[in-house]
Chains A and B, each alone.
Chain A
Amino acid sequence: MTLTVTLIALLVTMAFALIRAIKGPTVYDRILASNALGTKTVLMIAVLGFVVGDPELYIDIALMYVLIGFIGTVAVLKVSEFGNLGQPQSHTDAEDT
């Protein structure tokens, strides 16, 4: 019962984050909202593991989700800032070229 309420609360929070990600006026609003959405998804997977009754299996999936989500956020930030994925260039370099 408690777990079900937690799941519903997480889903409501995710819906709010999703609305902000779609409406977000600036790119940073969208990135922050999608990052929060990813965090809520990890929590939801963990809670779902206890609902289903097999937490060990779902904790693995949640761990993997958080690692991949971190890399995805870094990649999106890099593209929005520098316009490419390759160079380790600094901000001043980007303004020079």
Chain B
Amino acid sequence: MIDNPVLRIIAKIIIPMILLFALYVQFHGDFGPGGGFQAGVIFAAGFILYGLVFGTESLRSAVPPAVLRLLIAVGLALFAGVGVITMLAGSDYLAYNALSEDPIAGQHLGILVVEFGVGVTVSAVMITIFLAFAGRNDP
């Protein structure tokens, strides 16, 4: 599909917009529709479009599977780490109020970090699933 100029150019134009929109959904999720899971899926959709147009080989060199596996673990560790930090601060697991002096600021910070962890893990898992299915005939 790389020999199709329309598709190639459109993909190059639209992929940055998809990634930007994913970040918007991620960090605007408190006020509009969205959140970590949705943003992760949209972010992965940008990479999946790249893989569709330029082939899974190019996608693998853009995001190596080792990096993807690391990102899955890092996102999960962020999520669990926030819970452990609130426990160390003397409160319950994932009780965001303990993150800051001001309970509302603590809630904001906790939700932002946890949603970011969810987004990282979900996007990495989605790209891994796409590579596992679409790239199964690769050498």
Contacts and interface: CB of A to CB of B under 8 A. Distances in A.
Interface residues of A, number: 22
A40 to B, nearest CB: 21
A61 B136 CA distance: 33
Interface in B52-71: 52-58
B1 A71 contact: no
A91 B3 CA distance: 9
A60 B32 contact: yes
Contacts, number: 69
Q: Which range contains the number of B residues in contact with the other chain?
A: 20 to 34
A64 B25 contact: yes
Interface stretch (B41-49, B94-102, B114-122): B41-49
A90 B2 contact: yes
A67 B21 contact: yes
- Chain B's interface: helix, strand, loop or mixed, by majority? helix
A63 interface: yes
A67 B13 CA distance: 12
Interface stretch (A4-12, A13-21, A23-31, A81-89): A81-89
Nearest to B18: A67
Interface in A63-97: 63-64, 67-68, 70-71, 74-75, 78, 82, 84-91
8 closest Cβ pairs, A-B complex? A88-B55, A85-B134, A88-B2, A86-B56, A90-B3, A86-B134, A86-B135, A71-B49
5 contacts: A56-B32, A67-B14, A68-B42, A86-B135, A88-B57
